[in-house]
Structure 1
Amino acid sequence: MSDQLHSARLRSGSLVLRPWLPGDLPALLDAYRDPAIRAGSRAPVEDEAAAERWLRAQEEGRESGLRHSFAVVDTGLGERPAGNVVLARSAPGSKRAEVGYWTAAPARGRGIAPQALEALTDWAFTVFAADGLVTLELLHQVDNEASCRVAEKAGYGFAEMLPAHPPWPREGHRHERRAA
């Protein structure tokens, strides 16, 4: 994989989206103390060892080219990550990929999630266009109204209801956005 893809840094207004770093471990632990983030996570981070594994998994995903997770830093709030956005591809050349995100509790309500998701979306459709990417999907549980609003603000239209399926105990929504 190219170094440019491996070390991608995205900018959108006061936001910088950058690879997660080992020094981000305290911010990651703080974020995952929030019940809302734990409830929406497929792999909750419960302690320092789990946070180290999570950080390694993000690096391994980036190296494989199948998972691109970005720490979202709002420079108006400092250098500490205020959130996360991620693009997950099932295989090179896949026409579809999944996006996800979370915002740390102190940073919510500032428009960070839709702005970061928009930046990730633009980047994904640009970087992976030649590889065949045409559709991005965003999944969330039906009771997560905030995620529904973020999806809509970032141009992800509602596509369908999803049945409950482990690890999700409730029905969900699938939103999608197609490349222009």
Structure 2
Amino acid sequence: MGGRSEKAHWSRFQDSALRHWTSTPLENKADGARWVRAQQRGWAAGDRFGFAVLEAQPDVFRGQLVGNVVLKEVESGKPSAEVGYWTAAHARGRSVASRALEVLTGWAFDTFGADGLERIELLHQEDNPASCRVAQKCGYGFDRVLPAAPAFPLDGHLHIRRTDS
């Protein structure tokens, strides 16, 4: 990457809302490279599967980055896994997260259901109503409030979607 497109790409990670909700803020290229390597390690280990969410653009081979979805804590025989996602500021309010989450959910159950995956959990802080709407829109029913923890400084919501949902 170089020039103007690189600046536009890195500016996505300076978004205050995105920085508030993600546990690993990216400050520079080195942080970005570490994040990519972590994604590669997850794929290699078979326990974390991250996907870039791209918006198709006419006459462009690669789309514009508008978000990310991830299936994590996948383990053979384990009945549950967890999902996470983020949406770039310029793409919010356009159902990017819910469409990506719906695709990821279907893929997860198709890919890991025979290996024991029965439910997928979605967690978010209580003060994140947008994530609550995404969860509900995608059939992740509210399960309970979780107390604050080091990774979540506020109480959180646990939403669950089961294979039969």
Normalised TM-score (structure 1) = 0.82
The structure in which a higher percent of residues are helix is 2
2:135 is the alignment partner of 1:151: yes
Deviations 1:52-110 (A, max 9, x none): 10011111101111000000012158612100000002532211000010000001111
Pick aligned residue for 1:87 from 66, 71, 93: 71
Match of 1:73 among 28, 39, 54: 54
The answer to whether the 8 A contact 2:148-2:156 is kept is yes
Q: Is the aligned partner of 1:55 residue 2:14?
A: no
Which residue among 96, 109, 120 is the counterpart of 1:125? 109
Secondary structure of the equivalent of 1:82? strand
- Shift in alpha-carbon separation, 1:36–1:120, aligned structure 2, 3 A: same
Q: Secondary structure at the match of 1:72?
A: strand
CA distance in structure 1 between the aligned counterparts of 2:29 and 2:99, rounded to whole angstroms: 29
1:96 is aligned to 2:80 = yes
| Residue type of the alignment partner of 2:69 | V
User: Relative to structure 2, which stretch is displaced further, 39-48 or 103-112?
Assistant: 39-48
Is 1:116 the equivalent of 2:97?
A: no
User: What's the TM-score once normalised by structure 2's chain length?
Assistant: 0.89
Do 1:27 and 1:81's aligned partners in 2 also have CA atoms closer than 8 Å?
A: no
Gaps of 5+ in 1: 1-21
| Structure 2 partner of 1:8 | none
Q: CA RMSD in A?
A: 2.0
Gap regions ≥5 residues in structure 2: none
Identify if the C-alpha distance between structure 1 residues 71 and 25 changes in structure 2 by more than 3 Å, giving closer, same or farther.
farther
**Percent sequence identity over matched residues?**
50
Amino acid at match of 1:42: S
Q: Aligned pairs, how many?
A: 159
